[in-house]
C-alpha cells in the first residue's frame, strides 16, 4: 500500500513531464490510460537528441504501465527512404527499447484526405493558387494582422473540384495548396490559414509509391495520427509548443468523443562541438566530410555505437541531464564522463603501443619467453586474468625513452632511473641505436630478474611504470583517435556556412601500432581500456587479421 507521503516522495523524483502524466493518470484522464509514441521522420539516421525523446516516450509508457508505439512520420516523400526506416528500428532496439506496434503516418493518407474533403465541405478549407512568396507576404507579423488571400472565398464546389484535381496530379508541384480557413488576424501565427496539403508529384513515396500526388503537412497529420492511434500523451520538443493550439483545433473539428491526446513539450538536446540536425548531418555524409552516418565522430546513435558508447552510457547521460522547459546547450564532457563511468568496470585493460620502438633486454636469456598472468580489470572482480607473453624484445612507446634526459624525466634514459615494465620487471636503459637521420631505432636495457610483478621483489617501488608489448607475439593494429567534429562550441549559433567550422584535426589515423597478443581475435564491438591511453572499441573495419580500434574517450576529461 502506498501512502500519501510515498506518492509525494515519488512525485519529487519524476521529471516535469512524468509529473504531468502522473497527474493525468490520477485524474483518470482518457480512462487513466497511458499511450505514447516515438514519431521519427525517416529522412535520416537517429542522433543522440532523438535518444532523449526515445527515453522519455518509452520510459513513460514503462513507468505507468502503458504502451509506446513507433510511428514513422512519413509525410514528405522528397526526403524519406526505407534505409532510414530500417536504421531507426535497429537503433531503438539497440538503445534497449521495444515498441508495441509500428505505425506509419502514410497508413492514414486516405483518412486524412477524407478529413480534408470534409473540411472543404464545411467551409473550413480552400485551395490557394498564390505563390509561396505571395502567401508569405500576407502572413503579417505577430503584432499586425495578415491579409486574406484573394482565393479565400471561392465556392465549396470549386474547392472540391480543385482539390480533387490536385489529388489526381493535374497540377504541377507548388502551383497550389489546400489551406485551412481559420483567421488571418489570429494572434497565434499558426492559425493564419495554415497549409494542410501540398502537391508532390515528382517523388514516389517509399511505401505508397505513386498513389498520392498530395501530401499532408506536419500540423495536419501529427495530431490526427495521434488521435487515430489512441495516443494519450504526445511528447515533443519545445518548438512545437506554439503549434499546440492548432494541434488541438484540428482534432476538435472531427473528434466524436471525450478522448483527446495531450501534447506536451520538453527541451531539445543540444551538445557542444556538434550539430544535431539531420539536414546538416546528411550534408556532411553526402559531401564526404565524414565517413558516413556511422562515422564515430557523428552524434548519430550508430556513430556513437561505432565509437564505443554503450546503450547504458547513453541512457545514463540522458537521465543525468534531465528534461526542462528551457533550451540549453549541454557540455559534451558530460557525455564523455558517462562513457568512462560505464566502461571502467566493463573494458578489459590491455597494452597498446601507438608509436613503437624496440627495446632489447640484453641480460634476458635468449630464446626464452615466459607467460605473465595479468588481471583483466582491477575494478571488476569477475573479469579474471589472462596470459601475456614476455620475452627479450619488447616494444615501448617512443616517448617513454630519451637519450638525453633531465632530472624531471622519470622514464627510460641511458644511465638514468629504474623503470618498471607494467606487470613485468624493473629495467634500466643502457644505450640506444639510431638510424642515419638520428632517430632512435632500438633501445638497450638490462633487467633485474628479482623484481617480477606478483613476487616479493615485485613490490620494489620505482618512479614510473611504462607500457610494453612483446615483439614476437604482439600484433599490428590501426588506431583511430578522434577529436571534436567542430572547432567551435556551438556551430549552429554561428553565422555563415557550418561546414567551415569543422575541426580539420578531428580524426588521426595511426597505422603500425602494436597491441598485445590477446587482442588478435578482437571482434567488432569488443571494448578495451588501452592502459594510459583511453577506452577503445574494436571497429567494424576489423577483419581478415586487420585490427582497427576507435578511441571512444580518453581516460581523463
Ligand atoms: P532534425 O531537426 O534533426 O531533423 P526532427 O525533430 O525533424 O530532427 P524527427 O524525426 O521529426 O526529427 O523527430 C522525432 C522525435 O524526436 C520528435 O518528437 C522530436 O521532437 C524528437 N527530437 C528530435 N531532435 C531532438 C533533440 N535534439 N532533442 C530531443 N528530442 C528531439
Ligand atoms: Mg521533424
Q: H-helix or E-strand containing 225? A: helix 218-229
State the distance from the centre of ligand 1 to the C-alpha of 50, rounded, in angstroms.
Answer: 6
A 10 A CB-CB count for 33 gives 18
Confirm or reject: Cβ of 85 under 6 Å from ligand 1. no
**Catalytic-residue membership of 268:** yes
Which protein residue's CA is at the shortest distance from atom 9 of ligand 1? 40
Alpha carbon of 89 to ligand 2 centroid (Å): 17
Q: What is the mean pLDDT of each run of 10 residues along the chain (557 residues)?
A: 64 92 97 98 98 98 98 97 97 98 98 98 98 96 97 98 98 98 97 98 97 98 98 98 98 97 98 97 98 98 98 98 97 98 98 98 96 95 96 98 92 94 97 96 97 93 96 98 98 95 98 97 98 98 95 94
Q: Which domains does the chain possess? A: 17-266 (3.40.50.620), 268-310+321-351+472-557 (2.40.240.10), 357-467 (2.40.240.10)
Residue 278 annotated as catalytic: yes
- CA atoms of 464 and 368, how far apart (whole Å): 26
Element (H, E) at 438: none
Q: Which atom of ligand 1 is the closest one to the Cα of 240? A: 20
362/364 Cα distance (integer angstroms): 6
CB 431 within 8 A of CB 401: no
What pLDDT does residue 342 have? 98
**Ligand number nearest to the C-alpha of 39:** 1
Residue 219 and residue 190 in contact, taking contact as beta carbons nearer than 8 Å: yes
The residue nearest atom 14 of ligand 1, judged by CA position, is: 40
- Buried b vs exposed e over 285-317: b needs ≥16 C-beta within 10 Å? beeeebbebbbbbbbbbbbbbbbbbbbbbbbbb
- Nearest ligand to the CA of 268 is 1
Between the CA of 71 and the centroid of ligand 1 the distance, in Å, is: 13
With a 6 A CB cut-off, is 53 part of the ligand 1 pocket? yes
Pocket test for ligand 1, best of 48, 50, 54 (most atoms within 8 A of CB): 50
Is residue 233 within 6 Å of ligand 1 at its C-beta? no
pLDDT digits 0-9 by tens, 318-358: 999 999 999 999 999 999 999 999 999 999 999 999 999 99
Residue 512 and residue 476 in contact, taking contact as beta carbons nearer than 8 Å: yes
Structural contact between residues 554 and 375, judged by C-beta atoms closer than 8 angstroms: no
Specify the residue for cell string 597494452. 351
| 359 Cβ closer than 6 Å to some ligand 1 atom | no
Write out the three cell numbers for 237. 520538443
Amino acid at each position: 500500500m502506498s501512502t500519501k507521503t510515498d506518492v509525494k516522495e515519488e512525485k519529487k523524483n519524476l521529471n516535469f513531464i512524468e509529473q504531468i502524466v502522473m497527474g493525468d493518470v490520477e485524474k483518470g484522464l482518457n480512462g487513466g490510460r497511458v499511450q505514447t509514441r516515438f514519431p521519427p521522420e525517416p529522412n535520416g539516421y537517429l542522433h543522440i537528441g532523438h535518444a532523449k525523446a526515445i527515453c522519455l516516450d518509452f520510459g513513460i509508457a514503462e513507468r505507468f504501465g502503458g504502451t509506446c508505439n513507433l510511428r514513422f512520420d512519413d509525410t514528405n516523400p522528397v526526403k524519406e527512404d526505407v534505409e532510414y526506416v530500417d536504421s531507426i528500428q535497429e537503433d531503438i532496439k539497440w538503445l534497449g527499447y521495444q515498441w508495441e506496434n509500428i505505425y506509419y503516418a502514410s497508413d492514414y493518407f486516405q483518412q486524412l484526405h477524407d478529413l480534408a474533403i470534409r473540411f472543404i465541405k464545411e467551409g473550413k478549407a480552400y485551395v490557394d493558387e498564390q505563390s509561396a512568396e505571395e502567401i508569405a507576404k500576407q502572413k503579417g507579423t505577430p503584432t499586425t494582422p495578415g491579409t486574406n488571400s484573394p482565393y479565400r472565398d471561392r465556392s465549396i464546389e470549386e474547392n472540391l473540384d480543385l482539390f480533387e484535381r490536385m489529388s489526381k496530379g493535374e497540377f504541377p508541384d507548388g502551383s497550389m495548396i489546400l489551406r485551412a480557413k481559420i483567421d488571418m488576424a489570429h494572434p497565434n501565427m499558426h492559425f493564419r490559414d495554415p497549409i494542410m496539403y501540398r502537391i508532390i508529384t515528382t517523388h514516389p513515396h517509399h511505401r505508397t509509391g505513386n498513389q498520392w500526388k498530395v501530401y499532408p503537412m506536419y500540423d495536419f497529420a501529427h495530431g490526427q495520427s495521434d488521435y487515430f492511434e489512441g495516443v494519450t500523451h504526445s511528447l515533443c520538443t519545445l518548438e512545437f509548443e506554439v503549434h499546440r493550439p492548432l494541434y488541438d483545433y484540428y482534432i476538435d473539428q472531427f473528434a466524436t468523443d471525450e478522448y483527446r491526446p495531450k501534447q506536451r513539450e520538453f527541451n531539445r538536446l543540444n551538445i557542444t562541438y556538434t550539430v544535431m540536425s539531420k539536414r546538416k548531418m546528411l550534408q556532411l555524409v553526402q559531401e564526404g566530410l565524414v565517413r558516413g552516418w556511422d562515422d564515430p565522430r557523428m552524434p548519430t546513435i550508430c556513430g556513437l555505437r561505432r565509437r564505443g558508447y554503450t546503450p547504458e552510457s547513453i541512457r545514463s547521460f540522458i537521465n543525468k541531464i534531465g528534461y526542462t522547459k528551457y533550451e540549453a546547450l549541454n557540455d559534451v564532457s558530460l557525455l564523455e564522463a558517462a562513457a568512462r563511468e560505464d566502461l571502467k568496470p566493463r573494458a578489459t585493460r590491455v597494452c597498446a603501443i601507438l608509436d613503437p620502438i624496440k627495446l632489447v633486454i640484453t641480460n634476458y636469456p635468449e630464446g626464452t619467453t615466459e607467460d605473465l598472468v595479468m588481471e583483466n580489470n582491477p575494478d571488476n572482480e569477475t573479469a579474471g586474468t589472462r596470459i601475456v607473453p614476455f620475452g627479450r624484445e619488447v616494444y615501448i612507446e617512443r616517448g617513454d625513452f630519451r637519450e638525453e634526459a633531465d632530472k624531471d624525466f622519470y622514464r627510460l634514459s641511458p644511465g638514468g632511473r629504474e623503470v618498471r615494465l607494467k606487470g613485468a620487471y624493473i629495467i634500466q636503459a643502457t644505450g640506444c641505436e639510431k638510424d642515419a637521420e638520428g632517430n632512435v631505432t632500438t633501445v638497450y636495457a638490462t633487467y633485474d630478474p628479482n623484481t617480477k610483478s606478483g613476487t616479493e621483489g615485485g613490490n620494489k617501488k620505482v618512479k614510473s611504470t611504462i607500457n610494453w608489448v612483446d615483439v614476437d607475439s604482439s600484433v599490428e593494429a590501426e588506431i583511430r583517435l578522434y577529436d571534436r567534429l567542430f572547432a567551435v562550441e556551438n556551430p549552429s549559433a554561428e553565422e555563415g556556412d557550418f561546414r567551415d567550422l569543422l575541426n580539420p584535426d578531428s580524426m588521426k589515423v595511426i597505422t603500425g601500432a602494436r597491441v598485445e597478443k590477446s587482442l588478435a581475435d578482437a571482434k567488432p564491438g569488443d571494448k578495451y581500456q588501452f592502459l594510459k591511453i583511453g577506452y577503445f572499441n574494436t571497429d567494424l573495419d576489423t577483419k581478415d587479421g586487420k585490427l582497427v580500434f576507435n578511441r571512444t574517450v580518453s581516460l581523463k576529461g
